[in-house]
Structure 1
Amino acid sequence: MIVSWRNRRAHNNKMKNNNRLCEDLDAEINVPTHFRCPISLDLMKDPVTLCTGITYDRENIERWIEAGNETCPFTKQVLETFDLIPNHILRRMIQDWCVQNRSLGVERIPTPRIPVSQCEVSEVCSRIVGATRRGDGKKCGELVRKIKNWGKESERNKLCIMENGTGCILSASFESFARDSFEKHINLLVEILLVLSWMSPLGKDGRSKLGTESSLRCIIWLLRNGDLSGRQSAVLVLKEILHSDDRRIITNTLRAIEGVVEALFFLIKEPISPTATKASLMAIYCMISSTTKNDMITSRFLEMGLVGVIVEAIVEADKSVCEKALGVLDEICNTEKGKEEACNNALIMAVLVKKVLRVSEWATELSVSILWKLCDEESVRIEAIQVGTFKKLLVILQVGCGEGTKEKVKELLKLLNVYNNRVDCCVDSSMGFKYLKKPF
């Protein structure tokens, strides 16, 4: 009986302790006022003090200053300097408080890294220039990795790196080592592209260095043979190079490089990421729009089946990808061969009508533009009526659109009105695509 009584008492004590623990966990955590940022009222992770003596969380006060404000948010005093002094004592107090309240689910804030300074970035850039002149790929690689690690730490570091002309210096280094031997320095060149991929805009000098034949050959090689990360970096940089006033010259240079069309095509047909897909579409658009009609590059894209791949991609694409894909399709339809390929695609009419007024105003305008270009032949106009184009065009006029689009809508309505009463609408514009036969 004594044992039984002791067991029963131990069980009761255990239940009391568990109940007390639950009550503690449910208790409201009162964060000390001086631990909260005056802007967000949240617990500060990286407290910094302004010249007015008020402490804020770094992220919040930086956002305040970057918005163009020149006063202290709390005191309203005009800031004599924008220096942000780390408040190490307060940060340690906050960390100690977090440790003391760990049982209540409070996690200790990590010790923040000190943001990179302009002087540090300038010093590393100078050393990269020196290493490039000497042809010291190993040293240059160490310095590039340092910049890459800085960029990983915070968006503020990325901004500081970009504002100090790092993009131009890395572009010159890339061009130098690619000209020497990109097979020999391939690891270094991949590292440089990884950093350049998040530097936009690169500037005219940077784009000119990356637009040389030696640089482009290396980028295209990585686009075809690199790993997923390398291919994505390569297409992002290629898009940045082409998105400039010199894209016609760069496209002429690309014409002599084998495999560029195939590499971009397969990034859309077999996507590796939404980012890479959007960059590929932008690169293709820049290349096609900067060439003459029926140019070799455009013809090669069409031969590979670009129209079918783009139409297939539009079906399930998000807003950004859909707009870019429609932009490429609209540009393709400026050529006779492109129009022919589009007219022969069994999905294109239904897809275009489906996307009207469902994605964005820009996507609607592009869809109308493509329809306007394709409705030259009677068979195409009949198909357009069958998928409900006439009704959608009337809705566009009711909703409103730009003057250019309105004129095209009116012209299309005149063309389609002839067949409107003679042809039944056999495919509702709101239906899906599962009953439509794919062209490939």
Structure 2
Amino acid sequence: MVRRDELHITVPNLFRCPISMDVMRSPVSLSTGVTYERSSIQHWLDSGHDTCPATMQILQSKDFVPNLNLRRLINLWAQSHGPMSPASSPILSDQQLRGLVQYIANENEKFNQNLFNSLAKMVDFAKASDENRRFLANFNGFVSAVVGVLNRQGVEIEVLELVMRLLDLISPQNGVVEQLHQLITKSNRNCLSSIQFLLERGSLRSKIESARVLGSIALDADSKRLMAEKEGLLSVLNHLLSSETDRSLHDAVFSCLVSLSVTRSIKSELVRFGLVQLITETLLNPDACAEKALKLLSKIATCAEGRSEISGEPKCVAAVAERLMKGSKEATEDGVAVLWSVCCMLGDKRAQECVRKRNGVAKILLVMQSGYCEGHFVRRMCGDLMKVLSVGLGMGLSYDTMTKHIMPC
């Protein structure tokens, strides 16, 4: 396995190879006047290129000559600074980044030390600051070049992990998600296979990054269906919830599944995978990402199979009732929607009794009075729940679903 080189102290840009970004040991110059590390430019030329990576000029000759003056300067600098120590952010100039972009865009490159190092340098640069991430995101051709690596066949997992880390780092920048959506779901659909591969085989970190990127690019119904119908993808996401315990991973996967749960067939498939039981376990765990799980449960509850599965899991109904008013406004509304689906729409008597035992009537009243149900539909669901839950309790209630005030009578 290739290991990433450790970061070194910031050095003059002139001393760095535009391809590898490492300090040059054997600098050689092309006919364009640009200097590179010998091994890096030799590999570039051996791959069939006839251009200068930094300037994209066509080379009149592929010969290069040692840059002895630069080599002497580098040696003097290295002697005066002593052993190199870890340091702050690396620096990328426009010219250097242009060379790196051209290098990684080469479709023949699948795995070698230079490709790995080039991506690793970009990751280190992106991690250093938001300004660096904006620089990368706005650099012409950068996003498409990185996605292009993801789209290739037979790329080693270490390279794919670096690509996904880069995409995750720059995705919050303006316009990047839209670019990724277009490149991954519209043009380069093999990218989904690479993302699925990382979800299956990657490190914990790359699994989290892959789930986050996947969820972020589900921007319209077509892309959501495309991803959800990708053979094995939903199964892999579900398996991560059942086999992994990391909260950050669960949070990313739940968010991704919420984005993908747009059709009845998708929701039904998630039910068949046993997702209701996994969500129940999450809701019962005080340290878990319960709000994301509850959001997904509210999506599942909109299909008949989902309502049936929820009603058949008493612990699920009880957990939802217990969490009312204990989280955000949105989480409480999701909880109301789930209870309404099984208690009112499905009319499950066992679920109704389970909610009553968890002080459900008082909680629904409190929700209606507290401003948690500002939306008309949420007020209607609360009203419907009060009707079915108050039956047999000997309490008559009149309420106006257009207000938040409940008046015992």
Query: TM-score under structure 1 normalisation?
Result: 0.62
Residue 231 of structure 1: which of 207, 232, 238 is its match? 207
The CA deviation at 1:347 is 0.9
Alignment of 1:26-65 (within 5 A): none
Which structure exhibits the higher relative contact order, with contacts defined as CA atoms closer than 8 Å and separated by 6 or more residues? 2
Q: Is the 8 A contact 1:382 1:419 kept in 2?
A: no
Give the length in aligned residue pairs.
298
CA distance in 2, matches of 1:157, 1:249: 29
CA distance in 2, matches of 1:141, 1:267: 27
CA distance in 2, matches of 1:114, 1:348: 48
Residue 306 of structure 1: which of 266, 275, 296 is its match? 275
Alignment of 1:345-360 (within 5 A): 345-360=313-328
Is 2:160 the partner of 1:189? yes
What's 1:341 paired with?
309
The CA deviation at 1:368 is 0.7
CA distance in 1, matches of 2:89, 2:299: 48
Is 2:333 the partner of 1:361? no
The letter of the residue matching 2:116 is G
Is 2:89 the partner of 1:144? no
Q: Cα RMSD over matched residues?
A: 2.6
**Farther-moved stretch of structure 1 (378-387 vs 365-374):** 378-387
Q: Is the 8 A contact 1:284 1:328 kept in 2?
A: yes
Structure 1 SS opposite 2:307: helix
CA deviation digits over 1:334-392, x for unaligned, max 9? 10010000001121222112111111111111111111111123332222212211111
What's 1:82 paired with?
none
Structure 2 SS opposite 1:301: helix
What's 1:403 paired with?
375
**% same residue:** 19
Q: Is the 8 A contact 1:314 1:325 kept in 2?
A: yes
CA distance in 2, matches of 1:407, 1:367: 14
What's 1:34 paired with?
none
The CA deviation at 1:161 is 2.9
Q: Is the 8 A contact 2:307 2:341 kept in 1?
A: yes
What's 2:239 paired with?
266
The letter of the residue matching 1:225 is R
Query: Which of 1 and 2 has greater Rg?
Result: 1
CA deviation digits over 1:131-161, x for unaligned, max 9? 4235234343322111111133344433433
The letter of the residue matching 1:194 is R
Structure 2 SS opposite 1:357: coil
Rate the CA distance shift 1:161–1:421 in 2: closer, same or farther, 3 A: same
Alignment of 1:271-286 (within 5 A): 271-286=244-259
Rate the CA distance shift 1:134–1:260 in 2: closer, same or farther, 3 A: closer
Structure 2 SS opposite 1:334: coil
CA deviation digits over 1:262-312, x for unaligned, max 9? 2111222233532221111111112222x2x2x1x3333212210011121
The CA deviation at 1:332 is 0.3
Q: Is the 8 A contact 2:276 2:297 kept in 1?
A: yes
The CA deviation at 1:317 is 4.8
The CA deviation at 1:256 is 4.0
CA distance in 1, matches of 2:301, 2:375: 21
The CA deviation at 1:173 is 3.1
Q: Which runs of 5+ in 1 are unaligned?
A: 1-109, 423-440
Return the structure number with greater helix share: 1
